[in-house]
Amino acid sequence: MFFRLCDAGAAHLELAKKAHGWWHSAAIKSNVKLEGFDPDAAYGDRIAWALQAQLSVATIYSRFSTKLQHSTDDQVRECIEWAAKNGIYVPPELICIDEAVKGKSVRRDGLERMKQILRSGNASVLLVFKVSRLFRQAFKGFQLIQEEVVEQNLRAVSATQGIDTNDTKTWKLQMQMHGIIDDVLIDGIADHVRAGLTGLHQKGWTTGAIGVGFRRKQLPDAPVTNRGLPRTVPEVDPEVAE
């Protein structure tokens, strides 16, 4: 089955071009035999080349949560370089992304596309930057890898955490440990964010959305926000107040 680059949840054209460049460069450094490899060849021809070269074929899943992160390129590059070092080819067509999408969301274009790729047999390996990219809740990520990957005799790898389901004796323990660490980290960050918002509120500054009947009033003498925007306070909107 062929996955077009325009599919929902697929890599955009610019990322696809970068991906092949990253893989090719890393493959050269890792002494992968590239005779006959043509990055411009049709998808089927490249898959045939990879299998003939005894390379596994992988799909990558990348996700970030907010519009301010923009970490897709970094996640994909890390996964691709790991793949090239470990005898795995990643076609750009099999890169799946969700951008500015929360990890608690179950229905995501990139996530569903990744599952479809695995179920259809187009890839035998799933690569992620970190397992927390799958789901915010560690148990959901564990369930996905167990049911969609391990039970289907496929392989999953976290490129930056050393988690590899081929290591049958340790991957479960490693994933559970990283899940606990991630949960503790998120709770710690939440405490800092909550305290910061409380401080802003006590100063009377705007901390988020404002209600109907109010508007934002800029404070030119106040420090800008973390996003570099003018600091504001809510004030009554006289037109709406009438």
pLDDT band at 1 (very low <50, low <70, confident <90, very high): very low
What pLDDT sits at residue 127? 97
Mean pLDDT for all residues in the chain? 87
Residues 135 and 239 in one domain: no
What integer is the mean pLDDT of 164-191? 76
What average pLDDT does the segment 66-94 reach? 88
142 and 91 assigned to the same domain? yes
Task: List, for residues 7-50, the tens digit of each pLDDT value.
Answer: 889 999 899 999 999 999 999 999 999 999 999 999 999 999 99
In a domain, 200, yes or no: no
Same domain for 210 and 173? no
Query: Is 149 in the same domain as 42?
Result: yes
CB 233, CB 205: distance < 8 Å: yes
In this structure, what are the phi and psi dihedrals at residue 191, rounded to the nearest 5 degrees?
A: -60, -45
CATH for 48:
3.40.50.1390
Q: Is residue 44 part of a domain?
A: yes
pLDDT of 230 strictly over 70: yes
> Do residue 164 and residue 216 come from a single domain?
no
Q: Give yes or no: residues 240 and 173 share one domain.
A: no
Q: Are residues 102 and 178 in the same domain?
A: yes
- pLDDT for 70 equals 57
- Residue 207: its pLDDT value, please? 86
Local confidence band at 125 (pLDDT 50, 70, 90 cut-offs): very high
Residue 172 shares a structural domain with residue 63: yes
Is residue 136 classed as helix, strand or coil in its secondary structure?
coil
Based on the fold, state whether residues 117 and 216 are members of the same structural domain.
no
The mean per-residue pLDDT over the stretch 121-132 comes to: 94
User: Does 202 score more than 80 pLDDT?
Assistant: yes
Any alpha helices (H) in 104-232, and if so which ranges? Answer: 109-120, 138-144, 171-202
Read off the pLDDT band of 184 (50, 70, 90).
low
Q: Which H/E stretch holds residue 28?
A: helix 13-29
pLDDT surpassing 70 at residue 69 = no
Residue 62 has pLDDT above 60, yes or no: yes
**Structural domain tally of the chain?**
2
Residues 165 and 209 grouped into a single domain: no
The answer to whether residue 189 sits within a structural domain is no
Q: From 34, 100, 30, 111, select the one nearest 67 (Cα to Cα).
A: 100
Same-domain pairing of 133 and 215: no
The domain of 221 spans 205-242
- Are 153 and 216 in a shared domain? no
pLDDT of residue 103: 62
Is residue 48 a part of any domain in this protein? yes
Domain-located, residue 57: yes
